[in-house]
Structure 1
């Protein structure tokens, strides 16, 4: 995970809520200092003690902006790892993580899963009603329920947290200790938890596009914003992350409109995957088929820096990868936090690098040791070289030629300066 606590926390005036005596002020400061070292679940528990602790809890949570990543199972590429499909085991893993490691309240969970695990889901342990002297053991009923990934995870998250779930042949996932793996054939899940940020720093707008959506050629900028996650009209879109399940999708028309309204100041990344699912925690009376989903990123250019690099087919060595990734280093500075998205062609896995695993994500990790990284191996990629200081203009007519790729990898780094 990556953490940043606003400097204003140490400047807050507490005189309105605590007596002015030195002793009580010191107690308040000590308590606040202790709260700063507690995971979010413990902070919530402390808020129930008294009014003063409840106020400190609210203050503590409002100043936390921690980005988390985790992988299930924790060491997916180990020869001794067996991914349990029992719901009980997954529950225990998530509960332990939330209780001990979750630092901020998540507002969005981006979940990537290998197809093999997405198709299996999780199963509740067969259980039996309590035996009694009137019940014969042979007649006990055994019940097993299946939970898909979103059903299994949402049970543990706050009701305000939305979830975007992507299933693909392979995924890129990171542990809470910043170990990243490219997982091509094993059962595994990667999760990126994004907390709430001040809107002027980072706006996150998840969206989904129905299969029957029509992208009108005269769609206005306001309509486009509403279509892509209901982005406010007075806010500029900085980056869009797309996940498509259909190549011949009306959703592709969104890209042309984005490049029409943002010809030189937007990063676009995406991939063609096998399954998508978005849960905004609202009740939907009817089921709708969707061709695409994704995330719109907004934010002030002075505080939100976004860069994107493309590893094309001819880039095949670690040195070449490192040289290209170095172009993103300018986005980092002191007191910044960041996260990154990797979209790779399924053909750029270990076979591409003579059976060596984790080549591309490990080179990223050397340069960005503390940056949460998540991604997928897709059946086609969407991306381009986009660097804040480079002059580049991509017109609507060039969109298909310059953005849709094959046998490539795309890395997008999103860096926040708080």
Structure 2
């Protein structure tokens, strides 16, 4: 009669299997050969991996090493209809976040403002919430690890790359329900700091704490102003842009409808402000070009984006961002849709593209690499209308 293998825990906290001659040695291998365990765990999605790490010390150490290797940005994007059950992106994230292969540290979400605002989901104080309303910021925070920073932005239109492949065709959605969630893991040599400023919180100290001032490693700033048409909003934005304009960092973004994220007490509903991500680290490279108002044909759009190609930014682990005026898109190209997104993919076939159609654009022609030389600019030259800012961000 065959004997079942016996198991004991050794002094290191690992589970050792004492197999009989007729018993399987699989248990012993899975509990004692780190190389085998680690290889197997690379095929396990992160949420399941974290649960697996609780089995024993060996599996925990292997899981940690696997997580450290997962340094590629991933994303979930959605279009269509949420069928009255919230925004389609929020609905799909509940399912898709179970299958991702990284541990998110920072998440950038962009959704169409028509749908999300119709659900009373804009940036607001806790005391302003309806007692029976469901706050998507709170729901989203429950999907991601504790401490993960979530920046949610609502815009008139969304530019996204479908989930699954970097080479998927990017799409411009000026109408209808659409959104994406970009998930950034911890990346060696890269620091990503979300920031938020309103008239109550903006100060020199706050700019320094966000890494926007006095930070020699600052490389890229993605910056978004909300409620930009309120009185005082333009002057406020200039206070943020002035020190950045004198830096050697790449600045890109634009004006959005509003922001939904973890509630803050410093400003109330309807207040103007600025949010964004500050990316620092010597491994980061970036480049941007401005498609000015005279770029209104497929040929001129391709010529402008070819200037971006000349920056020689590596395509691996690189993201494309498109920040366009709501007045562009198919209306600007004689009714033809997806012109700029299609042109970007033609020039960069393996780089995913994300962004929005907004109420004004921030950026200029600029290259930030290891040995760049840039001239100073001023805040006014960073702000535009009826343009598109195309940007590449390489994360090393």
- Whether 1:106 and 2:104 are equivalent positions in the alignment is yes
The CA distance in 2 between the partners of 1:95 and 1:340, in whole Å, is: 25
Q: Say which of 276, 282, 292 aligns to 2:274.
A: 292
Specify whether residues 214 and 296 from structure 1 end up closer, same or farther in structure 2 by C-alpha distance, changes over 3 A only: closer
- Give the 5 Å matches for 1:86-235: 86-87=85-86, 93-100=92-99, 102-121=100-119, 145-177=132-164, 178-198=168-188, 200=189, 202-213=190-201, 224-226=207-209, 229-230=210-211, 233=214, 235=216
Q: Say which of 241, 248, 254 aligns to 2:234.
A: 248
1:6-25 superposed Cα distances (whole Å, 9 cap, x missing partner):
xxxxxxxxx9x999xxx959
For 1:308, the equivalent position in structure 2 comes to: 288
The CA distance in 1 between the partners of 2:395 and 2:323, in whole Å, is: 21
Specify whether residues 18 and 252 from structure 1 end up closer, same or farther in structure 2 by C-alpha distance, changes over 3 A only: farther
The CA distance in 1 between the partners of 2:373 and 2:264, in whole Å, is: 44
Are the counterparts in 2 of residues 310 and 385 from structure 1 also a CA contact under 8 Å?
yes
- Give the 5 Å matches for 1:19-418: 27-73=33-79, 76=80, 82-87=81-86, 93-100=92-99, 102-121=100-119, 145-177=132-164, 178-198=168-188, 200=189, 202-213=190-201, 224-226=207-209, 229-230=210-211, 233=214, 235-245=216-226, 246=228, 247-260=233-246, 262=247, 265-279=248-262, 288=268, 289-300=271-282, 303-329=283-309, 330-333=311-314, 336-388=316-368, 391-395=373-377, 398-400=378-380, 402-417=381-396
SS of residue matched to 2:331: helix
SS of residue matched to 2:242: helix
Q: CA deviation at 1:156?
A: 1.1
The CA distance in 2 between the partners of 1:68 and 1:147, in whole Å, is: 27
SS of residue matched to 1:327: helix
SS of residue matched to 2:243: helix
The CA distance in 2 between the partners of 1:297 and 1:49, in whole Å, is: 36
Are the counterparts in 1 of residues 325 and 360 from structure 2 also a CA contact under 8 Å?
yes
Are the counterparts in 2 of residues 208 and 278 from structure 1 also a CA contact under 8 Å?
no
Once structures 1 and 2 are overlaid, which stretch shifts more, 234-243 or 163-172?
234-243
Are the counterparts in 1 of residues 222 and 277 from structure 2 also a CA contact under 8 Å?
yes
SS of residue matched to 2:294: coil
Q: CA deviation at 1:104?
A: 0.7
Q: CA deviation at 1:416?
A: 2.6
Structure 2 length as normaliser, TM-score?
0.79
Q: CA deviation at 1:145?
A: 4.9
1:244-278 superposed Cα distances (whole Å, 9 cap, x missing partner):
12242413212112223x1xx22111211111234
Q: CA deviation at 1:152?
A: 3.1
Q: Unpaired segments of 5 or more residues in structure 2?
A: 1-11, 17-27, 122-130
1:103-123 superposed Cα distances (whole Å, 9 cap, x missing partner):
111111111111111113399
SS of residue matched to 1:387: strand
Specify whether residues 64 and 370 from structure 1 end up closer, same or farther in structure 2 by C-alpha distance, changes over 3 A only: same
Specify whether residues 186 and 249 from structure 1 end up closer, same or farther in structure 2 by C-alpha distance, changes over 3 A only: farther
The CA distance in 1 between the partners of 2:91 and 2:264, in whole Å, is: 30
Structure 1 length as normaliser, TM-score?
0.75
Q: CA deviation at 1:383?
A: 0.8
Specify whether residues 356 and 317 from structure 1 end up closer, same or farther in structure 2 by C-alpha distance, changes over 3 A only: same
The CA distance in 1 between the partners of 2:308 and 2:299, in whole Å, is: 15
The CA distance in 2 between the partners of 1:192 and 1:370, in whole Å, is: 17
Are the counterparts in 1 of residues 249 and 368 from structure 2 also a CA contact under 8 Å?
no
